[in-house]
Chain A
Amino acid sequence: MVRDRALAAETDLLTRYDAAIALPDVAADSALKARLTAIRAEHASHAAAIKGDDKAGPTPADSSSSSSSPSPSPSPTDAKTALAGLVKAEQDAASGRTADILAADGGTAMLLASIAASESGHAALLLGGAA
């Protein structure tokens, strides 16, 4: 259950990043596109780790085989709106894991805590600003 929920959240984030990366004004901004592509790869690593099939280390595998289909939200059409949406999605994903982290066994809690921390880091990276 805990891992199913975590996997669904990652699948939702992957879908959001795919949509953002496909936007014309993101595609035209090579630095932004590279940043979003790198973060998307980290979510793919999260999904693989949650599934437990990452024994050979992180793999930026496409998770299109996952059948979870989160409710479609209105798709942003410009980079600024898309970024704001990604920041909120990362923050929500991180904070949404707290109850499961507190209830899970030690090993699962550690993995999910690291993933939540990574997502908070993504939000900070997207928001920018000095250290």
Chain B
Amino acid sequence: MTRASTALQAALGNEHAAVYGYGVLAVRLAGAQRDAARNAFDTHRARRDILIGLIEAQGDKPVAAAPAYAVPFPVATAADATRLATQLEERLGASYADLVQAASGDTRRTALEWLTDAAVRAVRWRGTSVAFPGLPERA
């Protein structure tokens, strides 16, 4: 596998986990936050499908979703839910930063857009910004 296809598969794995995670956390939120979680759920489902198409177009077999994903802590409150959403977006941001590095052309452009989107969603969930979204080694 090329580095770009490895990065695509890693991103797909994180999109699978994000779809699962937003499904778990959305029910702990209300109002505008619940709407935002539902929007994120739909967005990540759509990206998962786009990634599956990109990976198949390269002749690779897309990684499958697990039946369930380990949630790093119990999601019992709205604060837990926003913390998990932040983590999901941070992990996706790291995947897309790797993809920016590994890919070129249209795939790099898409990775840049999705890294930016993950960073903006994380800012909204977290309430603060970070200097280097997607680059945890610089945090």
CB distance from B125 to the nearest CB of A (A): 5
Q: Nearest residue in A to B129 (C-beta to C-beta)?
A: A121
**Complex contact B115–A114 (CB within 8 A):** yes
Q: Chain A interface: which of B9-17, B57-65, B106-114?
A: B106-114
Q: Does B93 contact A (CB under 8 A)?
A: yes
The one of A38, A101, A114, A121 that contacts B120, using a Cβ cutoff of 8 Å: A121
The one of A54, A115, A125, A130 that contacts B33, using a Cβ cutoff of 8 Å: A130
CA distance A25 to B129 in the complex (A): 23
CA distance A116 to B123 in the complex (A): 14
Q: Does A23 contact B (CB under 8 A)?
A: no
Which residues on B sit within 8 Å (CB–CB) of A38?
A: 128-129
Contact with B along A81-115 (1 / 0, CB 8 A): 00000000000001000100110001101110111
CB distance from A38 to the nearest CB of B (A): 7
The one of B33, B101, B116 that contacts A109, using a Cβ cutoff of 8 Å: B101
Kindly count the residue-residue contacts between A and B in the assembled complex, taking CB atoms under 8 Å apart. Answer: 108
Q: Does B66 contact A (CB under 8 A)?
A: no
User: How many chain B residues touch the partner (CB < 8 A)?
Assistant: 38
Contact with A along B115-130 (1 / 0, CB 8 A): 1101111111100111
Q: Does B36 contact A (CB under 8 A)?
A: yes
11 contacts between A and B (CB under 8 A): A94-B116, A106-B102, A107-B101, A110-B100, A113-B97, A113-B115, A114-B97, A114-B132, A118-B132, A121-B122, A121-B130
Q: Which residues of A approach B to under 8 Å, CB–CB?
A: 38-39, 41-42, 45-46, 49, 54, 57-58, 94, 98, 101-102, 106-107, 109-111, 113-118, 120-122, 124-125, 129-131
Q: Which residues of B approach A to under 8 Å, CB–CB?
A: 31-33, 36-37, 82, 85, 93, 97-98, 100-102, 104-105, 108-109, 111-112, 115-116, 118-125, 128-135, 138
Beyond A58-B138, A131-B36, 18 additional pairs, beta carbon < 8 A? A39-B129, A42-B129, A98-B112, A102-B104, A102-B108, A110-B101, A113-B97, A117-B93, A117-B116, A118-B119, A118-B129, A118-B130, A120-B119, A121-B119, A121-B122, A124-B123, A131-B32, A131-B82
